[in-house]
């Protein structure tokens, strides 16, 4: 499955501008059968210079980067949880995403009206948070009567009811579910409620182009990622050479979107491993800490089920030695078993039997 990130934010903060920039970089989603192909979904390659290097070394028939799905989630305005704007329609879209990226307006532009009349990023963040918390409270309130009823029959459900009640009280104070202190097993108990405020959040500060290096206030405990949506949309229109020159003139080394994708990986504890062969060089996404069979399962469930072993070359060794044969000759091709914990950048080949 592709990592999917929902883009939310108040109206006129630059969501569409950013989303349009993203989709200019879209990959052919037909090559990624697990991706959703809908007008509000953009399937974007994860930028990775290591994959480019592997492709140069292996000269495969095709190169397949890992992808991220960005979902443009419209309709989140103050009052959305009670039916304002598109009302609850946006909720269905958000629920399926792995993380939420909130675009926050920092840019000042007299010509672009702010829904509340003034540019006030922290107040906008509060507005969105309130809507998400209210939507979750609604979910919890609907779930509780049923849970309580079930708990009368099945005593083992007692702790779950208590937990959901504690969560309800917490969210009634305006807090996001994710901020409540919980043990891992408690988190797991809440999973099937699909709460929006349990999802990791990224904040994108949409700043003016002359303020890309400005200091940003901490939001919700993290520093937001500065992006200028207008610049991103212009860069997306340019040929690579011109784009690089334009970015340089702004003091940037790469599009802001790259940083956004990297941050999402970090936030979600994800990493990449590679497969490299004549047919295809490809980057795959897996959890940090995943063992070899789980990683094999990212490619195909048969690979996991019938996992025998993995041949592994670290990316740095591959980069240095340049071929699989040379890596093998240098003793840098390792045979790893079921307990092997995959390292970011591993170039892997799985042996399996089903
Ligand atoms: P959305 O409602 O959040 O999707 O916002 P849009 O992307 O439609 O942007 C609203 C308006 O703000 C449009 O006129 C954009 O051209 C403008 N806009 C978006 N990003 C920027 C930016 O970084 N700087 C400036 N000056 N204007 C922007």
Q: Quick one: pLDDT band at residue 87, thresholds 50, 70, 90?
A: low
Task: Identify the helix (H) or strand (E) that includes residue 337.
Answer: none
Give Cα 350 distance to the centre of its chain.
Answer: 26
Q: Which of 110 and 12 is assigned the larger pLDDT? A: 12
Q: How far is CA 196 from CA 128, 192, 266, 299, in A?
A: 11, 11, 20, 28
Mean pLDDT of 170-199: 94
Model confidence at 230: pLDDT above 60: yes
In angstroms, the CA 331 to CA 313 distance is: 10
Q: What is the mean pLDDT of residues 88-103?
A: 81
Nearest atom (ligand 1) to Cα of 207: 23
Q: Are 48 and 281 in contact (CB under 8 A)?
A: no
For residue 9 and ligand 1, the question of a CB distance below 6 A is answered with: yes
Whole-number percent of the chain with pLDDT over 70: 95
CB 295 within 8 A of CB 348: yes
Instruction: Walk across the sheet containing 41-45 and list its strands.
Output: 41-45, 67-72, 3-8, 99-105, 201-206, 225-227
pTM: 0.86
Query: What is the tens place of the pLDDT at every residue in 22-64?
Result: 888 788 777 887 777 777 889 999 989 999 999 999 999 999 9
Identify the burial level of 331 via C-beta atoms within 10 angstroms of its C-beta, where 0-12 means exposed, 13-18 middle and 19 or more buried. Answer: exposed
Residue closest to 132 by CA, chosen among 101, 164, 91: 91
Percent of the chain scoring above 90 in pLDDT: 69
Per-residue pLDDT of 190-200, as tens digits, reads: 998 999 999 99
**Å from CA of 344 to ligand 1 middle:** 36
Give the chain's domains with CATH numbers: 3-49+66-119+200-267 (3.40.50.300), 127-191 (1.10.150.300), 289-352 (3.10.20.30)
Ligand 1 lined by 113 (C-beta under 6 Å) = no
Tokens of 316: 């740095």
- CA-CA distances (angstroms) from residue 332 to 173, 266, 326, 350? 56, 28, 8, 16
What is the secondary structure of 39-62 as a DSSP string? TTEEEEEPP-HHHHHHHHHH--SE
Is there an atom of ligand 1 within 6 Å of 112 CB? yes
């Amino acid at each position: 499955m592709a990592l999917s990130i929902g883009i939310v934010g108040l109206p006129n903060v630059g969501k569409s501008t950013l989303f349009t920039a993203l989709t200019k970089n879209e990959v052919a989603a037909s090559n990624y059968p697990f991706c959703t192909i809908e007008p509000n979904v953009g399937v974007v390659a994860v930028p990775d210079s290591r994959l480019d290097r592997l492709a140069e070394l292996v000269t495969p028939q095709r190169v397949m980067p890992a992808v991220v799905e960005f979902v443009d989630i419209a309709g989140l305005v103050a009052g959305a949880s009670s039916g304002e704007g598109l009302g609850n329609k946006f909720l269905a879209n958000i629920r399926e995403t792995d993380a939420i990226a909130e675009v926050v307006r920092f840019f000042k532009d007299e010509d672009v009206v702010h829904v509340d009349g003034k540019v006030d990023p922290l107040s906008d963040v509060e507005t969105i948070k309130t809507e998400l918390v209210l939507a979750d409270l609604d979910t919890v309130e609907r779930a509780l009567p049923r849970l309580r009823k079930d708990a009368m029959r099945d005593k083992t459900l007692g702790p779950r009811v208590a937990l959901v009640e504690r969560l309800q009280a917490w969210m009634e104070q305006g807090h996001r579910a994710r901020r409540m202190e919980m043990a891992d097993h408690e988190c797991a108990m809440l999973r099937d409620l699909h709460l929006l405020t349990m999802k990791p959040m990224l904040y994108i500060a949409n700043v003016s182009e002359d303020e890309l290096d400005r200091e940003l206030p901490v939001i919700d405990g993290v520093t937001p990622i500065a992006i200028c949506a207008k610049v991103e949309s212009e860069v997306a229109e340019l040929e690579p050479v011109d784009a690089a020159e334009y970015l340089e003139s702004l003091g940037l080394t790469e599009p802001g979107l790259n940083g956004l994708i990297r941050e999402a990986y970090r936030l979600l504890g994800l990493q990449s491993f590679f497969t490299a062969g004549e047919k295809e060089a490809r980057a795959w996404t897996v959890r940090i800490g995943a063992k070899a069979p789980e990683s094999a399962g990212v490619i195909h469930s048969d690979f996991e089920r019938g996992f025998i072993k993995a041949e592994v070359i670290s990316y740095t060794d591959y980069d240095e030695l340049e071929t699989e044969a040379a890596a093998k000759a240098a003793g840098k091709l390792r045979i790893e078993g079921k307990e092997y914990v995959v390292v970011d950048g591993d170039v892997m080949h799985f042996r399996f039997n089903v």
